[in-house]
Structure 1
């Protein structure tokens, strides 16, 4: 087939039309279309400068199609009657950027079945079809893989019409001109779509190799080396030696560095670099660990004012005010946990002093039953005082509670002060007694993964047997959701209707085959290891080995430094590619978190190589 493409500017070519001759848009006026079997018009990616067709060009294309030619057009402005009648699609509004819309197959398209959902990155146009068959629509779908019904507000995305002896295909979104090939998700479904479009129209559509591939399991040592490379080359470290801290993530939607700096991400990353330095014998990694924490101290993240209501607590991020504002329990407890572990491991007095100051702040604001709210607001603390906040409702969420109990264990190991051990035991027992009332953010699997961390150590200080029974119960539940690949599949979504906001799950219903590496499998590496070290239960070691192998097998290999050697949040266990529900606008399925995913995953692998416990 002899094909010509007219476009104003070069486009990515990741999804391409094989063997096509490319010409400038201005050549369309004078081109002899009958020399070609197919004519492709790739419109503008610029929302400010749309491309449109003159009456003369419309007439020319109409005549060409009527005589048997194939016309493919994409992102052409069609408010006028001549263009809209040619395309079988009329535009309602100016073009806009896709936000959370998804594409849906309107009918079976070869191997891509009716109702299948896809994502892309780029522009789209809202309009309606007439005298055309709609192959693909876009709309506000909250489902993950498949939607049985088309959304009421769905708009045509690709339509096909017969015109005389020929065919006109119109795409009201950036198909071949999609600026970000890594945002074609799930990639396997896009390959099916291109195959079906080629079969249906004769247009020789092809799709390139995915930019995000799986490295495969080469063992823990290789996985760690690759992840160190990700930290050093992706841009996540503003300065390679750690002296300017670490950025939070590569954003799920924009694929750009999110340049927020958070103490919890610093703590996770400092822990990983410390462990890697010790395991590898390369002291530069331990120095990098110290510089990360020193950055927080130097920049005033911890409130060191004894007269302040938030004395001892850390800011959640580089908050512009002098004192912390939102004081999240888990973020501060992670900073406390790592500071005190590092104090024991390195002997640095500054870690000890600041860690105990934070442990005391947590203890002073802890309810008598050992639980606490998920967040304190400094202005509320100013009104209520530290005594007053003890009456606030607890979170009842292991995501927040259990890491605090683990931090108290570290404080006990540093000081040998029984009040910290008592706080950990009291809080854990109270939480376990309220199991029926637990609250979860993303899934029961992710929440119970977080519950595990302090339990193994506390078994040795609990004469009732309650904590050991809870550990066994929790591990049994998680192992019920172990996939054949070794990873834990997300299950029991507490809020399936939550979509389009921060802090949503990356799946909707059980059985979707989605694994979460931001809140579940990443932490399970560390927490199942600690359960094994505390109990010697071989089933727990088996789980650790399975999750380790799974995480190694899904590490990313890419020519793009933003991705190479890292892990994203959501992985489709059945399709074997990164994909998940995009309902979380802040930490969505393709987020690459510095601390919470990549550092914690590597730390879990390192504990296995070092054969030691964080509580030893």
Structure 2
């Protein structure tokens, strides 16, 4: 293909722990990607684009994923917030504020039966994914927790109220609601019938936000619904409903189970957190990445054709997913560290962060430089994808889920000593 011999990387690459200087440069490059790639719109006033799509055309240019997603806006606001907290950068603080304002001033429904709901995207105005809503609210909750502002906390509570009013008695919601096609009786059924959907992909971050808000504000209803939902979800563990893989479910449980323990202080919840961490450690690669794994290949996107497909062909393949799994780990492990004070968990963060630094794209192409691609072969240390995945291909880059989540997580690690005081 290349017309010349290609030197492959050594079979046993030298892996290192993430060092502060290395992680700082890594996070800074990732943050710069938002502006250099054109993903950040009008300094944040216009939100952020979803990122880069799967398709790469014959002339070499890559498709842009144009929707402005509420979750991506909130997650980018979180990344800029952490950068400002770490460096004192005034422009990052301003961008964070503009993006947070976009979430609530532009994308939140203010009146009617859907009052409080955060719309999915600028072109899917009637669709609600509760976990996407939750990740848009993380920046608001963390700003309040760290004493950095409470401007949009009432709007955040309004969003949580809408979700609680459409949550089943078991504390769970279905995968999504399409409000355009729902009657009033449909809405009432959401609150009177069990959601019966114990899936971290769709429910865990929503429940985590309830728990953190309830803990901070002593809000009994948020605490009760959040705990009830997490109990229903964890009752199915480890056979939770999977979207991409078992690894994804574990990665997405790190932060919610941490906040469950933070809110309740119960020994059983602490043990559950360590159970999740131990399960993840069972699929850790020497690089520090967590490999895709699905014990019974039961994930909805497992081995699909003609649509979205998980990266997993076979358990044991050296494949890491940075769209659905490893991207949640930095923030998740740091929250686990903050609520436990366990230095061993911080050591796991450093090991994983070292992998992220080594997997970050370095390119003369500003569209991808500083970002992370969806899939990675951790033996070859190269971007990886499956030929049958037409949903999120090898070079797809999600602005919020991937770049912003990783960036915020890395900065939270760099701010370890400062932030841990807020959890005492």
The CA RMSD measured in Å over matched residues stands at 2.4
Deviations along 1:213-256, whole A, 9 cap, x unmatched? xxx976111112211221221111133x2122111011122322
2:135 to 334, 342, 345: 334
SS of 2:255's equivalent in the other structure is coil
SS at match of 2:391: coil
How much has 1:436 moved relative to structure 2?
5.1
Question: C-alpha distance in 1, partners of 2:311/2:33?
Answer: 24
1:564 has 2:366 as partner: no
Question: As a proportion of its length, which structure holds more strand?
Answer: 1
Shift of the alpha carbon at 1:345?
4.5
Identify unmatched segments of 5+ residues in structure 2: 9-15, 57-61
**Mapped partners of 1:435, 1:414: distance in 2:** 27
Does residue 1:517 correspond to 2:322, yes or no? yes
Corresponding residue SS for 1:252: strand
1:419 match: 221
Separation of aligned partners in 2, 1:509 and 1:416: 46
Q: Deviations over 1:141-176 (max 9, x none)?
A: xxxxxxxxxxxxxxxxxxxxxxxxxxxxxxxxxxxx
Residues 249, 208 of structure 1: CA spacing in aligned structure 2 closer, same or farther, 3 A cutoff? farther
Given the alignment of the two structures, is residue 497 of structure 1 paired with residue 303 of structure 2, yes or no?
Answer: yes
Cα 1:345–1:467 change in 2 (3 A) is closer
TM-score normalised to the size of structure 2? 0.88
Matched, 1:430 2:237: no
Q: Which protein shows a greater Rg?
A: 1
| Aligned pairs (5 A) from 1:257-268 | 257-268=64-75
CA–CA separation in structure 1 for the residues paired with 2:34 and 2:265: 44
Kindly tell me: are residues 311 and 501 of structure 1, through their superposed partners in 2, closer, same or farther at Cα, counting changes over 3 Å?
Answer: same
CA shift, 1:297, in A, is 4.0
Match of 1:256 among 63, 72, 75: 63
Residue 335 of structure 1 and its aligned partner are, at CA, apart by 2.0
Which structure has the highest helix share of the two?
A: 2
Higher relative contact order (CA 8 A, sep 6+): 2
Structure 2 Cα separation of the partners of residues 318 and 346 of structure 1: 31
Matched, 1:583 2:388: yes
Q: Give the corresponding residue for 2:354.
A: 549
Deviation, 1:604, is 0.7
Question: Within 5 Å, which residues of 2 pair with 1:157-556?
Answer: 190=1, 194=2, 205-206=3-4, 219-239=22-42, 241-254=43-56, 255-298=62-105, 300-305=106-111, 308-319=112-123, 324-345=125-146, 348=149, 350-384=151-185, 386-390=187-191, 391=193, 393-435=195-237, 437-462=239-264, 465-492=267-294, 493-495=297-299, 496-502=302-308, 504-556=309-361
Rate the CA distance shift 1:373–1:588 in 2: closer, same or farther, 3 A. same
Q: State the number of aligned residues.
A: 401
In 1, the alpha carbon distance for the partners of 2:213 and 2:116 equals: 14
Contact 2:104–2:155, Cα closer than 8 Å, also in 1: no
User: Offset at 1:343?
Assistant: 4.3
Stretch moving more, 382-391 or 541-550: 382-391
TM-score of the pair, normalised by structure 1: 0.61
Give the Cα separation in 1 of the matches to 2:216 and 2:333: 23
